[in-house]
Structure 1
Amino acid sequence: MSNLATMVGTVCGVGRLRPAPGTWGSLAAFPILFLVHWIGGPLLLVALICVLIGAGLWAADRMHRDGWQHDAPDIVIDEVAGQLVTLLPISFGAAGNDVSLLALWPGLVSGFILFRLLDIWKPGPIGWADRKDGAIGVMSDDLIAGVLAALGVIIMAGIAHGVMRL
Protein backbone atom coordinates (compact mmCIF):
# COMPACT_ATOMS: atom_id res chain seq x y z
CA MET A 1 0.00 0.00 0.00
CA SER A 2 2.85 2.30 0.86
CA ASN A 3 4.42 1.97 -2.60
CA LEU A 4 1.07 2.71 -4.25
CA ALA A 5 0.61 5.80 -2.09
CA THR A 6 4.09 7.00 -3.04
CA MET A 7 3.39 6.42 -6.75
CA VAL A 8 0.11 8.33 -6.49
CA GLY A 9 1.47 11.14 -4.32
CA THR A 10 4.56 11.69 -6.45
CA VAL A 11 2.55 11.19 -9.67
CA CYS A 12 4.65 8.25 -10.80
CA GLY A 13 7.89 9.89 -9.68
CA VAL A 14 7.39 13.35 -11.20
CA GLY A 15 7.67 14.80 -7.69
CA ARG A 16 11.22 13.50 -7.46
CA LEU A 17 12.38 15.72 -10.35
CA ARG A 18 14.63 18.59 -9.31
CA PRO A 19 14.76 21.51 -9.12
CA ALA A 20 11.26 22.78 -8.32
CA PRO A 21 9.20 19.59 -8.04
CA GLY A 22 5.99 21.64 -7.71
CA THR A 23 6.62 23.21 -11.10
CA TRP A 24 7.24 19.77 -12.61
CA GLY A 25 3.97 18.61 -11.05
CA SER A 26 2.14 21.56 -12.58
CA LEU A 27 3.68 20.80 -15.97
CA ALA A 28 2.61 17.16 -15.65
CA ALA A 29 -0.99 18.37 -15.67
CA PHE A 30 -0.72 19.52 -19.30
CA PRO A 31 -0.47 16.15 -21.09
CA ILE A 32 -3.22 14.90 -18.76
CA LEU A 33 -5.37 17.90 -19.72
CA PHE A 34 -4.89 17.35 -23.44
CA LEU A 35 -5.56 13.61 -23.26
CA VAL A 36 -8.64 13.87 -21.05
CA HIS A 37 -10.05 16.81 -23.01
CA TRP A 38 -9.55 14.91 -26.26
CA ILE A 39 -11.19 11.74 -24.89
CA GLY A 40 -14.16 13.24 -23.08
CA GLY A 41 -14.04 17.00 -22.88
CA PRO A 42 -14.45 19.20 -19.82
CA LEU A 43 -16.95 16.96 -18.02
CA LEU A 44 -14.49 14.08 -18.00
CA LEU A 45 -11.89 16.54 -16.75
CA VAL A 46 -14.19 17.48 -13.85
CA ALA A 47 -14.57 13.78 -13.01
CA LEU A 48 -10.80 13.28 -13.14
CA ILE A 49 -10.21 16.25 -10.84
CA CYS A 50 -12.60 14.68 -8.32
CA VAL A 51 -10.73 11.37 -8.56
CA LEU A 52 -7.38 13.16 -8.14
CA ILE A 53 -8.63 14.97 -5.05
CA GLY A 54 -9.72 11.70 -3.46
CA ALA A 55 -6.52 9.92 -4.47
CA GLY A 56 -4.42 12.85 -3.26
CA LEU A 57 -6.12 12.91 0.14
CA TRP A 58 -5.57 9.17 0.52
CA ALA A 59 -1.94 9.25 -0.68
CA ALA A 60 -0.96 12.29 1.42
CA ASP A 61 -2.48 10.74 4.53
CA ARG A 62 -0.84 7.38 3.92
CA MET A 63 2.56 8.89 3.12
CA HIS A 64 2.43 11.03 6.28
CA ARG A 65 1.62 7.94 8.36
CA ASP A 66 4.57 6.21 6.70
CA GLY A 67 6.94 8.91 7.95
CA TRP A 68 6.92 11.47 5.15
CA GLN A 69 6.97 15.09 6.32
CA HIS A 70 3.74 17.06 6.03
CA ASP A 71 3.40 18.35 2.46
CA ALA A 72 6.79 17.00 1.41
CA PRO A 73 8.06 18.61 -1.82
CA ASP A 74 7.91 15.22 -3.55
CA ILE A 75 4.11 15.10 -3.14
CA VAL A 76 2.85 16.77 -6.31
CA ILE A 77 -0.58 15.27 -6.87
CA ASP A 78 -1.92 18.45 -5.26
CA GLU A 79 -0.16 20.55 -7.93
CA VAL A 80 -1.57 18.37 -10.70
CA ALA A 81 -5.11 18.68 -9.33
CA GLY A 82 -4.76 22.44 -8.70
CA GLN A 83 -3.33 23.09 -12.15
CA LEU A 84 -6.17 21.12 -13.75
CA VAL A 85 -8.68 23.21 -11.78
CA THR A 86 -6.97 26.32 -13.18
CA LEU A 87 -7.19 25.00 -16.74
CA LEU A 88 -10.78 23.76 -16.50
CA PRO A 89 -12.31 27.01 -17.87
CA ILE A 90 -10.04 26.70 -20.89
CA SER A 91 -11.31 23.18 -21.52
CA PHE A 92 -14.89 24.46 -21.31
CA GLY A 93 -14.04 27.39 -23.58
CA ALA A 94 -12.42 25.17 -26.19
CA ALA A 95 -15.31 22.69 -26.14
CA GLY A 96 -17.96 25.42 -26.22
CA ASN A 97 -16.36 27.16 -29.18
CA ASP A 98 -15.34 23.96 -30.97
CA VAL A 99 -11.66 24.91 -31.09
CA SER A 100 -8.49 23.12 -30.13
CA LEU A 101 -7.02 23.66 -26.68
CA LEU A 102 -3.90 24.89 -28.48
CA ALA A 103 -5.95 27.72 -30.02
CA LEU A 104 -6.35 29.01 -26.46
CA TRP A 105 -2.61 28.95 -25.74
CA PRO A 106 -2.58 32.39 -24.07
CA GLY A 107 -4.98 31.02 -21.45
CA LEU A 108 -2.86 27.92 -20.97
CA VAL A 109 0.29 29.99 -20.44
CA SER A 110 -1.35 32.56 -18.18
CA GLY A 111 -3.08 29.78 -16.20
CA PHE A 112 0.24 28.07 -15.59
CA ILE A 113 1.92 31.29 -14.51
CA LEU A 114 -0.96 32.41 -12.28
CA PHE A 115 -1.21 29.03 -10.58
CA ARG A 116 2.52 28.81 -9.92
CA LEU A 117 2.65 32.36 -8.54
CA LEU A 118 -0.29 31.75 -6.20
CA ASP A 119 1.07 28.37 -5.13
CA ILE A 120 4.49 29.83 -4.32
CA TRP A 121 3.37 33.10 -2.67
CA LYS A 122 0.35 31.58 -0.89
CA PRO A 123 -1.61 34.80 -0.29
CA GLY A 124 -4.69 34.93 1.96
CA PRO A 125 -6.79 31.78 1.97
CA ILE A 126 -4.08 29.77 0.21
CA GLY A 127 -1.62 30.36 3.06
CA TRP A 128 -4.35 29.66 5.62
CA ALA A 129 -5.09 26.31 3.98
CA ASP A 130 -1.39 25.50 3.65
CA ARG A 131 -0.99 25.78 7.43
CA LYS A 132 -3.65 23.11 8.05
CA ASP A 133 -2.38 19.75 9.24
CA GLY A 134 -2.95 16.49 7.45
CA ALA A 135 -4.00 15.59 3.96
CA ILE A 136 -6.57 18.41 3.84
CA GLY A 137 -3.75 20.94 4.25
CA VAL A 138 -1.69 19.24 1.55
CA MET A 139 -4.49 19.32 -1.01
CA SER A 140 -6.58 22.37 -0.14
CA ASP A 141 -3.97 25.11 -0.66
CA ASP A 142 -3.40 23.99 -4.25
CA LEU A 143 -7.10 23.58 -4.93
CA ILE A 144 -7.79 27.11 -3.63
CA ALA A 145 -4.86 28.41 -5.71
CA GLY A 146 -6.38 26.58 -8.69
CA VAL A 147 -9.79 28.18 -8.19
CA LEU A 148 -8.30 31.66 -7.81
CA ALA A 149 -6.05 31.17 -10.84
CA ALA A 150 -9.05 29.91 -12.82
CA LEU A 151 -10.92 33.09 -11.91
CA GLY A 152 -7.90 35.06 -13.12
CA VAL A 153 -7.93 33.17 -16.41
CA ILE A 154 -11.66 33.86 -16.83
CA ILE A 155 -11.17 37.57 -16.11
CA MET A 156 -8.26 37.81 -18.54
CA ALA A 157 -10.26 35.98 -21.23
CA GLY A 158 -13.17 38.35 -20.65
CA ILE A 159 -10.88 41.34 -21.07
CA ALA A 160 -9.16 39.89 -24.15
CA HIS A 161 -12.31 38.71 -25.91
CA GLY A 162 -14.87 41.16 -24.56
CA VAL A 163 -13.17 44.49 -23.98
CA MET A 164 -10.26 44.21 -26.42
CA ARG A 165 -12.20 42.03 -28.91
CA LEU A 166 -9.19 39.83 -29.68
Structure 2
Amino acid sequence: MSHSNQAPEQDDPPLILPPGFLRNPVHLLAFGLGSGATSRAPGTWGSLAAIPLWYGIAWMPSLAYWLVVLAAFLVGVWLCGKTAEDLKVHDHSGIVWDEFVGMWIALGLFPDTIYGVLGAFALFRLFDIAKPWPIGWLDRRLPGGLGIMVDDVVAGAMALACLWAVDYWLVPVMV
Protein backbone atom coordinates (compact mmCIF):
# COMPACT_ATOMS: atom_id res chain seq x y z
CA MET A 1 0.00 0.00 0.00
CA SER A 2 1.38 3.36 -0.97
CA HIS A 3 0.56 6.77 0.40
CA SER A 4 0.28 10.01 -1.50
CA ASN A 5 3.61 11.29 -0.21
CA GLN A 6 5.70 8.20 -0.69
CA ALA A 7 7.35 6.97 -3.84
CA PRO A 8 5.05 4.53 -5.63
CA GLU A 9 5.61 0.92 -4.69
CA GLN A 10 5.99 -1.76 -7.32
CA ASP A 11 2.32 -2.71 -7.14
CA ASP A 12 1.22 0.92 -7.59
CA PRO A 13 0.20 1.98 -11.07
CA PRO A 14 2.45 4.55 -12.69
CA LEU A 15 1.41 8.19 -12.51
CA ILE A 16 0.17 7.93 -16.10
CA LEU A 17 -3.54 8.66 -15.93
CA PRO A 18 -6.22 7.41 -18.29
CA PRO A 19 -6.99 9.83 -21.15
CA GLY A 20 -9.38 12.57 -20.04
CA PHE A 21 -9.10 11.52 -16.39
CA LEU A 22 -8.73 15.06 -15.06
CA ARG A 23 -11.68 16.32 -17.11
CA ASN A 24 -13.89 14.71 -14.49
CA PRO A 25 -14.46 17.41 -11.81
CA VAL A 26 -14.23 14.82 -9.00
CA HIS A 27 -10.84 13.62 -10.19
CA LEU A 28 -9.64 17.16 -10.89
CA LEU A 29 -10.42 18.20 -7.31
CA ALA A 30 -8.96 15.01 -5.80
CA PHE A 31 -5.80 15.68 -7.81
CA GLY A 32 -5.61 19.18 -6.32
CA LEU A 33 -6.68 21.01 -9.48
CA GLY A 34 -3.96 19.09 -11.31
CA SER A 35 -1.13 19.75 -8.85
CA GLY A 36 -1.01 16.06 -7.94
CA ALA A 37 -0.46 15.01 -11.55
CA THR A 38 3.26 15.80 -11.33
CA SER A 39 5.65 12.89 -11.71
CA ARG A 40 7.78 13.85 -8.70
CA ALA A 41 6.68 14.81 -5.19
CA PRO A 42 2.96 15.23 -5.89
CA GLY A 43 2.24 15.61 -2.15
CA THR A 44 4.66 18.52 -1.91
CA TRP A 45 3.23 20.18 -5.02
CA GLY A 46 -0.28 19.65 -3.68
CA SER A 47 0.70 21.23 -0.37
CA LEU A 48 2.17 24.23 -2.21
CA ALA A 49 -0.94 24.53 -4.39
CA ALA A 50 -3.08 24.70 -1.24
CA ILE A 51 -1.42 27.95 -0.13
CA PRO A 52 -2.89 30.34 -2.75
CA LEU A 53 -6.34 28.85 -2.12
CA TRP A 54 -5.78 29.34 1.62
CA TYR A 55 -5.27 33.05 1.02
CA GLY A 56 -8.77 33.04 -0.45
CA ILE A 57 -10.32 31.74 2.79
CA ALA A 58 -7.92 33.10 5.43
CA TRP A 59 -9.81 36.42 5.60
CA MET A 60 -12.94 34.69 6.91
CA PRO A 61 -13.95 34.89 10.56
CA SER A 62 -12.51 31.96 12.50
CA LEU A 63 -15.76 30.00 12.75
CA ALA A 64 -16.47 30.34 9.03
CA TYR A 65 -12.88 29.35 8.20
CA TRP A 66 -13.08 26.16 10.27
CA LEU A 67 -16.51 25.32 8.80
CA VAL A 68 -14.99 25.60 5.30
CA VAL A 69 -12.11 23.33 6.36
CA LEU A 70 -14.59 20.84 7.85
CA ALA A 71 -16.66 20.89 4.65
CA ALA A 72 -13.49 20.39 2.58
CA PHE A 73 -12.64 17.39 4.76
CA LEU A 74 -16.10 15.83 4.44
CA VAL A 75 -16.23 16.40 0.69
CA GLY A 76 -12.64 15.14 0.47
CA VAL A 77 -13.53 11.81 2.04
CA TRP A 78 -15.90 11.22 -0.86
CA LEU A 79 -13.69 12.82 -3.58
CA CYS A 80 -10.59 10.88 -2.62
CA GLY A 81 -12.44 7.63 -2.05
CA LYS A 82 -14.21 7.86 -5.41
CA THR A 83 -11.01 8.75 -7.27
CA ALA A 84 -9.04 5.94 -5.61
CA GLU A 85 -11.87 3.53 -6.47
CA ASP A 86 -11.90 4.70 -10.10
CA LEU A 87 -8.12 4.20 -10.30
CA LYS A 88 -8.42 0.86 -8.46
CA VAL A 89 -5.79 1.74 -5.83
CA HIS A 90 -5.96 2.49 -2.10
CA ASP A 91 -4.32 5.92 -2.25
CA HIS A 92 -2.83 6.98 -5.56
CA SER A 93 0.10 9.33 -5.03
CA GLY A 94 -1.57 11.97 -7.23
CA ILE A 95 -4.56 12.31 -4.90
CA VAL A 96 -3.65 15.47 -2.98
CA TRP A 97 -6.95 16.95 -1.80
CA ASP A 98 -5.93 15.56 1.58
CA GLU A 99 -2.80 17.75 1.44
CA PHE A 100 -4.99 20.78 0.73
CA VAL A 101 -7.05 20.15 3.86
CA GLY A 102 -4.01 19.28 5.97
CA MET A 103 -2.28 22.50 4.92
CA TRP A 104 -5.38 24.57 5.69
CA ILE A 105 -5.38 23.06 9.18
CA ALA A 106 -1.65 23.77 9.62
CA LEU A 107 -2.29 27.37 8.53
CA GLY A 108 -5.17 27.72 11.02
CA LEU A 109 -3.34 30.27 13.17
CA PHE A 110 -3.48 32.61 10.14
CA PRO A 111 0.22 33.48 9.96
CA ASP A 112 0.72 37.06 8.84
CA THR A 113 4.24 36.62 7.47
CA ILE A 114 5.76 34.50 4.77
CA TYR A 115 7.88 32.87 7.50
CA GLY A 116 4.74 31.67 9.26
CA VAL A 117 3.38 30.22 6.04
CA LEU A 118 6.72 28.54 5.28
CA GLY A 119 6.87 27.20 8.84
CA ALA A 120 3.39 25.70 8.48
CA PHE A 121 4.36 24.18 5.13
CA ALA A 122 7.61 22.71 6.47
CA LEU A 123 6.03 21.25 9.60
CA PHE A 124 3.08 19.81 7.70
CA ARG A 125 5.37 18.14 5.14
CA LEU A 126 7.59 16.80 7.94
CA PHE A 127 4.68 15.17 9.77
CA ASP A 128 3.02 13.97 6.56
CA ILE A 129 6.18 12.32 5.27
CA ALA A 130 7.61 10.96 8.56
CA LYS A 131 4.20 9.75 9.77
CA PRO A 132 4.93 9.61 13.51
CA TRP A 133 2.35 7.93 15.74
CA PRO A 134 -0.63 8.21 15.40
CA ILE A 135 -0.39 9.33 11.75
CA GLY A 136 1.18 6.13 10.38
CA TRP A 137 -1.06 3.96 12.54
CA LEU A 138 -4.19 5.68 11.20
CA ASP A 139 -2.89 5.59 7.62
CA ARG A 140 -2.49 1.81 7.79
CA ARG A 141 -5.85 1.09 9.44
CA LEU A 142 -8.51 3.37 8.01
CA PRO A 143 -10.04 2.39 4.68
CA GLY A 144 -11.15 4.36 1.63
CA GLY A 145 -11.51 8.10 1.47
CA LEU A 146 -11.51 8.42 5.24
CA GLY A 147 -8.11 6.70 5.40
CA ILE A 148 -6.75 8.94 2.67
CA MET A 149 -7.90 12.09 4.47
CA VAL A 150 -7.37 11.40 8.18
CA ASP A 151 -3.59 11.03 8.25
CA ASP A 152 -3.19 14.45 6.60
CA VAL A 153 -5.71 16.00 8.97
CA VAL A 154 -3.69 14.72 11.93
CA ALA A 155 -0.41 15.87 10.31
CA GLY A 156 -1.98 19.31 9.86
CA ALA A 157 -3.17 19.35 13.47
CA MET A 158 0.29 18.37 14.72
CA ALA A 159 1.88 21.13 12.63
CA LEU A 160 -0.69 23.60 13.98
CA ALA A 161 0.06 22.50 17.55
CA CYS A 162 3.79 23.04 17.00
CA LEU A 163 3.18 26.49 15.53
CA TRP A 164 0.90 27.35 18.42
CA ALA A 165 3.56 26.22 20.93
CA VAL A 166 6.20 28.37 19.21
CA ASP A 167 3.83 31.33 19.11
CA TYR A 168 2.73 30.88 22.73
CA TRP A 169 6.05 30.03 24.40
CA LEU A 170 8.93 31.06 22.17
CA VAL A 171 7.79 34.32 20.58
CA PRO A 172 7.01 36.12 23.89
CA VAL A 173 10.48 35.16 25.18
CA MET A 174 12.13 36.60 22.07
CA VAL A 175 10.20 39.89 22.10
What's the TM-score, normalizing by structure 2? 0.80
Structure 2 letter corresponding to 1:130: D
2:116 to 104, 107, 115: 107
In 2: Cα distance, 1:11 partner to 1:23 partner: 11
In 2: Cα distance, 1:64 partner to 1:22 partner: 15
Q: Is 2:153 the partner of 1:143?
A: yes
Cα drift, residue 41 of structure 1 = 4.1
In 2: Cα distance, 1:44 partner to 1:37 partner: 10
Q: Is the 8 A contact 1:107 1:157 kept in 2?
A: no
1:127 to 126, 136, 151: 136
Cα drift, residue 105 of structure 1 = 2.6
In 1: Cα distance, 2:46 partner to 2:84 partner: 19
What is the aligned residue count? Answer: 152
In 2: Cα distance, 1:164 partner to 1:152 partner: 17
Structure 1 stretches of 4+ moved >3 Å:
41-44
Q: Is the 8 A contact 1:14 1:24 kept in 2?
A: yes
Cα drift, residue 6 of structure 1 = 0.5
Q: Is the 8 A contact 1:130 1:138 kept in 2?
A: yes
2:43 to 2, 6, 22: 22
Cα drift, residue 45 of structure 1 = 2.3
2:82 to 47, 52, 62: 62
Q: Which has the higher helix share?
A: 1
Paired position in structure 1 for 2:93: 73
Paired position in structure 1 for 2:53: 32
Q: What is the percentage of aligned positions where both structures have the same residue? A: 35
Q: Is the 8 A contact 2:81 2:148 kept in 1?
A: no
Query: What root-mean-square deviation, in Å, do the aligned CA atoms of Structure 1 and Structure 2 show?
Result: 1.7
Q: Is the 8 A contact 1:33 1:45 kept in 2?
A: no
1:83-108 deviations in Å (ceiling 9; x for gaps) = 1100001x2xx6xxxxxx2xx33221
User: What is the DSSP-based 3-state SS (H/G/I as helix, E as strand, rest coil) of the residue aligned with 2:95?
Assistant: coil
Cα drift, residue 65 of structure 1 = 2.5
Q: Is 2:125 the partner of 1:116?
A: yes
Paired position in structure 2 for 1:97: none
Q: Is the 8 A contact 2:101 2:152 kept in 1?
A: yes
Paired position in structure 2 for 1:156: 166
